[in-house]
Amino acid sequence: LYPLCSLKSLAALTPASILGVFCSIITCVFLGFRFFGGAYVPGGFLYSSVAPSLQPSFGIKGMNMLSPSCLILFSMAATGYMCHFAAPDFYHSLENNSPKRFKKLIANGFGATALLSVFFTFFGFLTFGGASSGMILNNYSTRDFGAVVCRLLTAGTLICGYPLILSGARSALFAMTKNGANVTESLRLNATKLLLSAVTCIALVLENSGFVVSLNGAISGSAIIYIFPSVMFLQSTKSRLSSGVLKMSRSLRAERLLNKFMIGLGAVLGLLGASVSVLESFFPGIL
């Protein structure tokens, strides 16, 4: 991972990113194949080779959209769209970049992500139901050759996408600590080693990837979707009002109130989502 994370330009990761996308598509197709083939239904040829705790489970809890567990699903879904921090790097690395081409890139990227997320959720949950694990491939039998291949493909997808995430985290770190000052090559590499080592140490301790995804989605997702944009809008309008560039009006006052409400809503949703993720992972008997 370190050589990939040390690259100066995200453009060099284009082949790896394309490979990661194809790995995700192949895995999604496999999940659909197993769902329609019925290999994991009771009596299916792979059903008995799955651990009892991971075997399909339906009709136990029932369907309740107000269940606290739904917050975990919403939190996980939010992680699929959290790439705002890497937007500047994506824009500058885009060939012949322009706002129009960048909008097209965003539309295609988010559209494909939404479609894949829907199919992954659909096939995974309808195959295993309430027994679905945070990493759905864990439910599939170790005797399932297709699942073994998909696990390798997933590892490839994570390796290909990891540098993109770390690059955004590194840029954010420099933005907070260096305050626009020039970053030397030595400092950039040392920061890469520090971030990579820290994340690796955490990964060695935490075993439930579903908990990591849901907690990250609850906190970071709520902040990026609800809180940060509202705070930026309020600060921007406050500055323009103070300088006289902007005048207060009824619609502007209503919009500022709405943004304050969004900040509160984001804080509540983030707190609830994070709490449910922790309780579901470490204290399952409470919920």
Task: Note whether 28 and 123 are within 8 A (CB).
Answer: yes
Query: Given this model, what pLDDT does residue 76 score?
Result: 67
Q: Is residue 60 within 8 Å of residue 130, measured between CB atoms?
A: yes
Residue linked to tokens 């197709």: 29
Over residues 219-250, the pLDDT tens digits come to 887 888 788 889 999 999 999 888 888 888 88
Whole-number pLDDT of residue 10: 67
| pLDDT tens track for 157-201 | 788 778 877 887 888 788 778 765 677 888 888 888 999 999 888
Residue 168: name the closest of 195, 193, 204, 202 by CA: 195
What is the crossing angle of helices 228-243 and 250-282, to 10°? Answer: 150
3-state SS assignment for residue 45: coil
- Distance (Å) of CA 142 to CA 34, 132, 138, 139: 14, 16, 9, 9
CA within 13 Å, CB half, 205: 7
127 and 56 Cβ atoms separated by less than 8 Å: yes
**pLDDT score, position 61:** 66
- pLDDT under 50: residue ranges of the chain: none
**The pLDDT value given to residue 32:** 94
Q: Tell me the pTM.
A: 0.67
